[in-house]
Structure 1
Amino acid sequence: MRILLILILSVGFSAVAHSQQPVKPSDSVRLSIFSQKIRAYSTTKDYSSALKYLKQYQHVKDSILEVYKQQQISALQLRYQTVKKDLEAKSKEKNINLLIGQNSLRNTNIYQARIIRKITIGVIMTIAFLLAISFLQYRLKKQANLRLENQQDAINQKNNALEHLSKQKDTLLEEKELLIKEIHHRVKNNLQVVISLLNTQSAYLNDIKASEAIRQSQHRMQSISLIHQKLYQSESRALINMKEYTQELVQYLQQSFETGNRIAFKLNIGDIDLDVLRAVPIGLILNEAITNSLKHAFPADAVGQIAIELKCLKGKLLKLMVTDDGMGLPPEFNIDICQSLGINLMKGMCKQISGQIAMENENGLYITIEFPVS
Structure 2
Amino acid sequence: MYQAVPQEPASKKGQAEKLEALAQMHQIQGNYTEALHYGLAALKNAQEIGDTAKLSRYFLQLGYLYHDLKQPDKALESCAESLRHVVEVNKDNDSFNILSLAVNVLLAQHRVKEALQYISKFVRATPPTSLKSIAMLTLFKAQCYAALQQYPLAKKHILLAEAYLREIDGAKDLIFHNDSYRMGVYQVAGELYMATKDYPKARSYFKKMVQVNQKVKYLSEEVLHEQLLSKLDSAQANFKGALVHHQRYSFLKDSIFNEARSRQITNFQIQYETQAKVQRIAMLTKKNEIQQALLAQNEFQQTVFIVGSILLSALLLLVYRGFKVKKKHNKILEGKQDEINRKNESLNQLLADKEILLSNKDELLEEKGWLLKEVHHRVKNNLQIVTSLLNSQAAYLNDIKALTAIEDTRHRVHAMSLIHQKLYQSDRIATIAIDDYLRELVEHLSDSYNSDGNISFQLEILPMEMNVAMAVPLGLLVNEAVTNSIKYAFPDGKAGIVSLSLREVLPCSYLLTIADTGIGIKNTSDFSSRRSLGMSLMKGLSKQLCGDLTLDNTNGLTINVLFTPSLINPTYGIEK
TM-score computed with the length of structure 2 as normaliser: 0.36
Change (3 A) 1:233 1:331: same
Equivalent residue letter for 1:178: W
Please state how far the C-alpha of 1:200 moved relative to its aligned partner: 1.1
The equivalent position to 1:313 in structure 2, one of 483, 498, 505, is 505
Q: Distance in 1 between matches of 2:427 and 2:355?
A: 24
What pairs with 1:1-374 in structure 2 (closer than 5 Å)?
164-331=356-523, 333-374=525-566
Gaps of at least 5 residues in structure 2 are: 1-349, 567-576
Instruction: Find the counterpart in structure 2 of residue 26 from structure 1.
Output: none
Please state how far the C-alpha of 1:336 moved relative to its aligned partner: 4.4
Kept in 2, the 8 Å contact 1:241–1:274? The answer is yes
Change (3 A) 1:159 1:330: farther
Equivalent residue letter for 1:271: P
Q: Deviations over 1:50-89 (max 9, x none)?
A: xxxxxxxxxxxxxxxxxxxxxxxxxxxxxxxxxxxxxxxx
Kept in 2, the 8 Å contact 1:304–1:325? The answer is yes
Please state how far the C-alpha of 1:300 moved relative to its aligned partner: 1.8
Instruction: Find the counterpart in structure 1 of residue 52 from structure 2.
Output: none
Equivalent residue letter for 1:280: V
Kept in 1, the 8 Å contact 2:524–2:552? The answer is no
Q: Distance in 2 between matches of 1:219 and 1:184?
A: 19
Change (3 A) 1:322 1:167: farther
Equivalent residue letter for 1:305: I
Please state how far the C-alpha of 1:165 moved relative to its aligned partner: 3.0
Q: Distance in 2 between matches of 1:167 and 1:225?
A: 37
Count of residues in correspondence between the two structures: 217
Equivalent residue letter for 1:317: S
Kept in 2, the 8 Å contact 1:315–1:373? The answer is no
Equivalent residue letter for 1:240: I
Runs of 4+ in 1 over 4 A off after TM superposition: 158-164
Gaps of at least 5 residues in structure 1 are: 1-157
Partner of 1:219, secondary structure, is: helix
Q: Distance in 1 between matches of 2:514 and 2:490?
A: 15
Please state how far the C-alpha of 1:169 moved relative to its aligned partner: 2.6
Please state how far the C-alpha of 1:160 moved relative to its aligned partner: 9.7
Larger Rg: 1
User: 1 or 2, which has the higher strand percentage?
Assistant: 1
Kept in 1, the 8 Å contact 2:419–2:471? The answer is yes
Please state how far the C-alpha of 1:258 moved relative to its aligned partner: 3.5
Partner of 1:300, secondary structure, is: helix
Equivalent residue letter for 2:383: L
Change (3 A) 1:167 1:211: farther
Partner of 2:360, secondary structure, is: helix
Change (3 A) 1:336 1:166: farther
Q: Quick one: percent identity of the two aligned structures?
A: 46
Q: Deviations over 1:164-217 (max 9, x none)?
A: 434423222222111111111111111111101101110110111000000000
Q: Distance in 1 between matches of 2:545 and 2:404?
A: 28
Please state how far the C-alpha of 1:163 moved relative to its aligned partner: 6.7
Q: Deviations over 1:324-374 (max 9, x none)?
A: 000112226435422110011011011011111001101001100011133
Change (3 A) 1:165 1:211: same
TM-score computed with the length of structure 1 as normaliser: 0.55
Change (3 A) 1:367 1:166: farther
Structure possessing the higher relative contact order (Cα contacts under 8 Å, 6 or more residues apart): 1
Kept in 2, the 8 Å contact 1:254–1:260? The answer is no
Partner of 1:346, secondary structure, is: helix
Q: Deviations over 1:212-268 (max 9, x none)?
A: 000000000000000001111111111111110011101111111143531110000
Please state how far the C-alpha of 1:313 moved relative to its aligned partner: 1.9
Q: Distance in 1 between matches of 2:452 and 2:427?
A: 33
Change (3 A) 1:163 1:327: farther
Equivalent residue letter for 1:175: E
Q: Distance in 1 between matches of 2:441 and 2:466?
A: 16
Q: Over aligned residues, Cα RMSD in angstroms?
A: 2.0
